[in-house]
Structure 1
Amino acid sequence: MDIITTITKALTAAGVNIDLGEILKSKEFKRAEIENQLRDDLREQFQAEIQDVQNAREMQNNALKQTDLFSKRFIYFLAIGLLTIMASVTLLPFFFQFPKANEILIAQGSDFVRSAVYLVLAFFFGTKMNPKNNSNANI
């Protein structure tokens, strides 16, 4: 015999008129509804990020059509500058002695710089996800 029916019978015998199976089914339904809503929100966020990257690529294509050399090469200057800053922040602790008390602050600062560089580079050069790939459709 199912444990839920056993508990329901025991509750009914005790004078409590509750069908435990119906209560649990409604909770499962609510959980599934919340999961579907979260899945839809994640899908919308992913589509917005892909659209954002497409806008950056369109911006780069428009910049390449201009006659100004700086506008054409801005993305490359930005990438070189950000990679230089990231490399210097990463290598700086190897060449200079920092106080032990500031160790956590230095680690947080270098993590922040690295994360910012990765985000900017991912914005301009794209992400690993391909929106036309069917394997990413179930996100």
Structure 2
Amino acid sequence: MAKFGTVEVYEEMGKVLNDDDEWINKRGTKISYSMVFDYGEPVDKAFYTRFESGRVTDVHELDSRGEIEADFVIAGSADVWRGVLTNTIDPTVALTRGQLKVKGKMATLLKNMNAFKYVIEKMSQIPLD
């Protein structure tokens, strides 16, 4: 079980994806990007992840926002992130409604949307406390 709003969620995500044959051998092979997941109040933290050909190779909490460049930054309130991670808010709906805001190349994100949705799907299976 991972504590919501901590780097534990992303460490668990890394373990789940790196052990997932479907992800490593098919869905994630073209994913070599860095991402920051930015949580608003009351969590007020940001988490960095690095994917290399689908493998999660780096996960850590940022000391400050903007501390490191990333291909994508996805920002939203803590409530929206909790909803996405517990599968009560559809991430695509959250993006289209502006509840989650993305910085980065939208064409790249859209081209790889199925892979990114798979990541969120796997994250939503991580038990949170």
* Shorter-chain TM-score tier: under 0.3
Bigger radius of gyration: 1
Kindly indicate whether structure 1 or structure 2 has the higher relative contact order, using CA contacts under 8 Å at least 6 residues apart.
Answer: 2
Structure ranking higher in helix proportion: 1
| TM-score after normalising by structure 2 | 0.23
